[in-house]
Amino acid sequence: MQRVPPVVRKPTAEAAVYSLNWMTATGSGILVAAIIAGLIMGFTPWKMLLTYGRTIMRVRFSLLTIATMLSIGYMTRYSGLDAAMGLAFARAGMLYPFFGTMLGWLGVALTGSDTSSNVLFGSLQRISAEQIGVSPTLMAAANSCGGVMGKMIDAQSIVVASTATEWYGHEGDILRYVFFHSIALAALVGIMVMLQAYVFPFTLLVVK
């Protein structure tokens, strides 16, 4: 697949290289810490393996969901769908920094993961930002910051909250209570991103 103008300045082949950086991955550090903690607490290697297996079985559907959302993100990129959507969202013009932030909010609200939202919309944000002359770095950060505000209304967070507080069956009540706060905070972040995109001295905060 090739990226062509106006998405890029000249036709460029899309890089499709998979890198397995298992030594520096966050999960590797967590796994090592868990093994050390288990040994300190007196767990045998066999008991740790059994516990690990039971945990994998318990979260298997969540893992499958996360993997599926990540695969959709890469599919939209390599199929060129992100480029088409990026050009479409660029039609928002000067208002795009605000709506781009809300797009990050929507991504996390739907997927339940800031990482999944960044994979899903990260390339789109870069393309739209380049089309309207706004910093791609700013919009990538806006996608994450807006996404954080959507975290409080995603399904898995609400289920965790109701389970942790033993308030079963009240997920709808929690959603209705926090929805306004979530969208209001996302809008405030969007306004801040607008200021950083166009208004001095806020523009000095953006990494060039």
DSSP code string of 160-189: HHHHHTT-TT-HHHHHHHHHHHHHHHHHHH
If asked whether residues 201 and 114 sit together in one domain, one would say: yes
If asked whether residues 22 and 71 sit together in one domain, one would say: no
If asked whether residues 105 and 178 sit together in one domain, one would say: yes
Question: CB under 8 Å to 202, separation ≥6 — which residues?
Answer: 192, 195, 196
Query: Is the pLDDT assigned to residue 61 strictly greater than 80?
Result: no
If asked whether residues 10 and 29 sit together in one domain, one would say: yes
If asked whether residues 81 and 1 sit together in one domain, one would say: no
pLDDT given for residue 5 in this prediction? 67
If asked whether residues 105 and 14 sit together in one domain, one would say: no
As beta bridge partners, residue 12 has: 3
Single pTM value for the model:
0.72
If asked whether residues 51 and 30 sit together in one domain, one would say: yes
Last-in-domain residue among 58, 81, 104:
58
- Size of the chain, expressed as the number of residues it contains: 208
Tokens of 154: 């995603």
- Total domains in the fold of the chain: 2
Last-in-domain residue among 14, 37, 58:
58
Owning domain of residue 29: 1-58
For residue 139, give the nearest of 82, 70, 207 by alpha carbon. 207
Last-in-domain residue among 32, 58, 84:
58
If asked whether residues 46 and 71 sit together in one domain, one would say: no
What confidence tens digit (pLDDT) does each residue in 148-185 have?
998 888 877 777 777 677 776 777 788 888 899 999 99
What confidence tens digit (pLDDT) does each residue in 96-134 have?
999 999 989 988 887 777 887 887 788 889 888 988 899
The Cα 134–Cα 94 span in angstroms is 9
If asked whether residues 71 and 95 sit together in one domain, one would say: yes
Tokens of 67: 């993997």
